[in-house]
A and B are shown apart, each in its own frame.
Chain A
């Protein structure tokens, strides 16, 4: 069903299962679903995740250095989990008219 809802809706939807995800896992999933395979597309999805985290909907639970270049070599990778607020906003937005 991907590709036809706003990107932030989809990100919340992925995280609604309550599991922890690394940012590169979410980014590559969205890139594939929305056909945003450029470096620009990647950064713009990652910024969406940062915005959701700063809005209090995701929580940054763990960081590690990207030594192998999975995402961006020598940059930080972040692991996120959905918050209660994110869960209520997310289910409000995503579980309706699916």
Chain B
């Protein structure tokens, strides 16, 4: 075999593997909205919400409950990632990366602030207030935030094509948010906190991506992701949950009640799907490029709507369908740009 055919063969193998990882990411991410939605009606979370609502009002009850759910989500993702790292034999690399706080791991801890209390909490709030399909599709707006941030932070150029993509995604976003808002307005009951949660998801994931990239450049993604979730667990279990308990919310008494088989099962399911969607996402980047990786990954919006329809029988509002489709089209326009340079993603 000559050099040329071998090169072709190698790049073909690389690309098909990359697409496989990205597709797995979309499927896992889409499935995550199932346990994320179901967990709200399970004990102890539904009781917790009812108990807090009696004294603090519905809105507060939902947000406080979302905090506890997000904290457990972070915990189960951490368990899933620790098992994953153990199987890969990467505990050594994990400790080595953790020790490099200044050049490397500080970025993961910083990223976890935006990924956890902003994006994932926002997603759970949106799921609780409005529904899984809305939460999933609202998150599709994150590339807009990411690329605008990259433009101002490291002066990454936004090409004409990327700008068109951003425009299409924004129109999609307006359709998603606007459609729901209009029908809410006509019924006189606007779920502001739910929409805020959707915006938090989009902004949080955009910011997280831009920050985490700084650390991931020079570390192994399996180790980096685990540190990012270590950061998130610290934020929830050492800072926010004790703080809320101090303010008198019954965090611990309800947290201790999650050891019901069904609740545990759903939480573990959420941890596995979310943990591995992140792993697959990062595995795809070196093989097909960040652009295509994110483009395919964004099919999660479509996957989640299909799964939610299959399992819950909920057909989403047409505005969510139209807006979601626009977001997926927009991200493809944005991401399919650098078709020529597969092996190197950045300029030199």
Measured CB to CB, the residues of A under 8 A from B are 4-9, 12, 34, 40, 44, 47-48, 50-51, 53-57, 59-60, 63-65, 74-76, 83-85, 89-90, 92-93, 96-97
With A50-B286, A51-B286, A74-B1 as known contacts, state yes or no: A8 contacts B220, CB within 8 Å: yes
Q: Select the residue from B102, B104, B218, B285 with max chain A CB neighbours within 10 A.
A: B218
Nearest B-chain residue to A44, judged by Cβ: B88
Contact of A64 among B3, B93, B343, B345 (CB under 8 A): B3
Measured CB to CB, the residues of B under 8 A from A are 1-3, 6-7, 10, 88-89, 92-93, 96-97, 100, 102-104, 217-221, 223, 285-287, 289, 343-348
Other than the given A56-B347, A65-B2, A74-B1, 15 more pairs (CB < 8 A) read A44-B88, A50-B287, A51-B221, A51-B285, A53-B343, A54-B345, A55-B346, A57-B218, A75-B10, A76-B10, A83-B348, A85-B346, A89-B217, A92-B103, A93-B100
Q: Select the residue from B3, B97, B287, B343 with max chain A CB neighbours within 10 A.
A: B343
Contact assessment for A8 and B219 in the assembled complex, using a CB-CB cutoff below 8 Å: yes
| Nearest CB in chain A: distance from B32 CB, A | 25
Contact assessment for A93 and B286 in the assembled complex, using a CB-CB cutoff below 8 Å: no
Q: For A64, what are the chain B residues with a Cβ–Cβ distance below 8 Å?
A: 3
Nearest B-chain residue to A55, judged by Cβ: B217
Complexed CA–CA distance, A63 and B219 (Å): 25
Q: Select the residue from A51, A56, A85 with max chain B CB neighbours within 10 A.
A: A51
Contact of B3 among A4, A40, A44, A65 (CB under 8 A): A65
Q: For A40, what are the chain B residues with a Cβ–Cβ distance below 8 Å?
A: 89
Q: For B347, what are the chain A residues with a Cβ–Cβ distance below 8 Å?
A: 56
Q: For B10, what are the chain A residues with a Cβ–Cβ distance below 8 Å?
A: 75-76
With A63-B7, A74-B1, A76-B7 as known contacts, state yes or no: A54 contacts B220, CB within 8 Å: no
Nearest B-chain residue to A36, judged by Cβ: B89
With A4-B96, A65-B1 as known contacts, state yes or no: A54 contacts B285, CB within 8 Å: yes
With A8-B220, A63-B7 as known contacts, state yes or no: A56 contacts B93, CB within 8 Å: no
